[in-house]
Amino acid sequence: METVADKRVVVVTGSTSGIGRGVAELLLSRGWRVVINSRSDDEVGESMAAANDDMIYARGDISHPQDCAQVVEAAISAWGRIDGLVNNAGTTAYVELDDIEGVTAEVWHRVLDVNVIGTWQMISAAMPYLKAAAPGRIVNIASVAGLRPVGSSVPYSVSKVAIVHMTSILGKVLGPDVLVNAVAPGLVDTAWTAEWSAVKENVAAAAPLRRVGQPQDIAAACEYLLNTNYTTGECIAVDGGMRLVV
């Protein structure tokens, strides 16, 4: 029988809003202890944690390595273990895909620093504990923009391709101690896409499953991958089939 000490611990980055929040809330309801995180949304993070004994909030910008170390340390000081890491925090730049001059080096650095290097820094900081969990499990949030030549800008899409490939490589080299998988959402109804009414209508009309995604759709895939015993290096698209028509 599972005791309190056996409860598994997961760190979910970027989890005061949208997909990350949906993941954190689902995992909490399934008996995980959850470290939630955001770069600046302390009020929401603290109030979510205050309402749940098995949730703590750790502020930190994943593009800063010392912040990643602090998020991991918060989990270890509270509960002494990390069994799962969901790398969800991400950012973008809105630049038309054919606007070459619009993508400056600053834009590249800003997006890659969070989406790629930040994800890597979280993996690196948590790795000793994930290995100790044997098996530890990582789920990286990619995007359909990492599977198809679409997205809010070239740097964003390239950053998500990098996440998919990082997932494959780490899946190859980290087993059997750590399983590494990814989820590639299509368009999901979050604060990020709040102003995208026209795009949402198009997706709801064109996607084989005839609606945009909800954070719970992505959370269900994350939960599956945090429990899998024989899948690694895989990226699951959760997009209502939209990648088949774009």
Ligand X SMILES: NC(=O)c1ccc[n+]([C@@H]2O[C@H](COP(=O)([O-])OP(=O)(O)OC[C@H]3O[C@@H](n4cnc5c(N)ncnc54)[C@H](OP(=O)(O)O)[C@@H]3O)[C@@H](O)[C@H]2O)c1
Question: Alpha-carbon distance 224 to 182, whole Å?
Answer: 11
Q: Is 156 a known active-site residue?
A: yes
Site for ligand X in 120-139 (CB under 6 A): none
User: How far, in Å, are 42, 103, 158, 176, 235 from residue 109 at the CA level?
Assistant: 25, 10, 12, 33, 25
Which residue's CB is nearer to ligand X, number 173 or number 191? 191
What DSSP string runs through 39-80? SS-HHHHHHHHHT-TTEEEEE--TTSHHHHHHHHHHHHHHHS
The residue whose two tokens read 């001059």 is 101
By CB under 6 A, residue 152 contacts ligand X = no
By CB under 6 A, residue 187 contacts ligand X = yes
Which of 57, 94, 156, 224 is catalytic? The answer is 156
By CB under 6 A, residue 143 contacts ligand X = yes
Tell which one of 162, 188, 221, 238 touches ligand X (CB under 6 A).
Answer: 188
By CB under 6 A, residue 158 contacts ligand X = no
By CB under 6 A, residue 207 contacts ligand X = no
By CB under 6 A, residue 86 contacts ligand X = no
By CB under 6 A, residue 141 contacts ligand X = yes
In the bound complex, what is the minimum distance in angstroms from residue 173's beta carbon to ligand X? 23
Tell which one of 12, 33, 34, 41 touches ligand X (CB under 6 A).
Answer: 41
Question: Alpha-carbon distance 67 to 102, whole Å?
Answer: 30
CA-wise closest residue to 166 among 176, 177, 174, 154: 174
By CB under 6 A, residue 38 contacts ligand X = yes
By CB under 6 A, residue 199 contacts ligand X = no
In the bound complex, what is the minimum distance in angstroms from residue 113's beta carbon to ligand X? 8
Tell which one of 25, 27, 32, 37 touches ligand X (CB under 6 A).
Answer: 37
By CB under 6 A, residue 190 contacts ligand X = yes
- Catalytic residues, by residue number, are 156
* Interface residues toward ligand X, by CB under 6 A: 13-20, 37-41, 61-63, 88-91, 114, 118, 141, 143, 185, 187-188, 190-193
